Amino acid sequence: MNVSIAYLSVVLIWSTTPLGIIWSSETVNPMMAVFLRMFLAMIIGTLFLVVMRIHIPTTKQAMKLYSYSTIGVFGGMFWGYMASRYVSSGLMSLIFGLAPIISGLMAQKILNEPKFTPLRWFAFSVSLFGLAIVAWHNISTGSSELIGIAFVLLGVFFFSLSAVMVKSVHINIHPFATTLGALYFSVPLFFMCWLLLDGEINIAQWSAKSIGAIIYMGIFASLIGFLGYFYILQKLNATTVALVTLMTPPLAITLGTLINDEPVGPNLFIGALFVIIGLTLYQVGGRRIKAKQLE
């Protein structure tokens, strides 16, 4: 596989994922939508594992890895889908773009990684200021979108926590096996959430757009996107891969505006600008840390 094509695929898939979440939850209960997405990914992934004869380890370390991965798959997606009826796809992508910074903060405590430099703290502050601009507008207008922002932040927290915890597990395993292990753990959890929070199957109300979005998310976002991500992670340095988080929010906001008629007010535009500047400074700070370590 060409690295450039794989990189572009990850950027495009991650940019369309928030819109896919919004569309799939329009006429389908969010918990049913995420359950069907993950269940479809699990079935197709299992068939792929059988055909490719990829082994899924069941050692203690492997089970720990699957559990930590589930924190991100279940925790991140649960709150992301809960927020789908309150926020736009562009705003969802923008908030999830903060994941590298949140992961960096957690890694200091969990993995004993170096503390933030003044530049990285400044970058974090700039990003939070951008998010505050968006949130303040919703507080002043009494918008229910603020609830969605809180839900997405919870999703980012669990997604970031999972990423750090996975790094603490040292095991040589195929990335696809990790994906399926997490799916085997999380699919029953999503089913139980749907059963407790809704429990109804109103197929007659499901639109073709929602069904198509669920299929797209199951195949592309949950399988192809994940494989592409791990592929470029193996071929490129971490800093280059991390740039994906800078590219997806602008694309997601643009797609949401053009395809889903999502309004882009001054608050979202200015807030997004500050968040992206903060993320850029954060990546620059990371390069300086690596440069000092090589001296």
259: its two tokens: 């395809």
* Residue 141 pLDDT greater than 80, yes or no: no
Domain that residue 147 falls in: 3-294
- In angstroms, the CA 122 to CA 119 distance is 5
Rounded to an integer, what is the distance from CA 113 to the centroid of its chain?
22
pTM over 0.95: no
Least confident of 89-98, 143-152, 222-231: 222-231
pLDDT in tens, 15-45: 999 999 999 999 999 999 999 999 999 999 9
Q: How many domains does the chain have?
A: 1
More confident: 174 or 273 = 273
- In angstroms, the CA 116 to CA 169 distance is 23
Nearest to 96 by CA among 32, 51, 163: 163
Mean pLDDT of the residues in the chain: 85
* Residue 70 pLDDT greater than 50, yes or no: yes
- In angstroms, the CA 257 to CA 227 distance is 28
pLDDT band at 222 (very low <50, low <70, confident <90, very high): confident
Q: Crossing angle for the helix pair 99-110 and 145-167, nearest 10 degrees? A: 40
Q: What is the pLDDT of residue 262?
A: 84
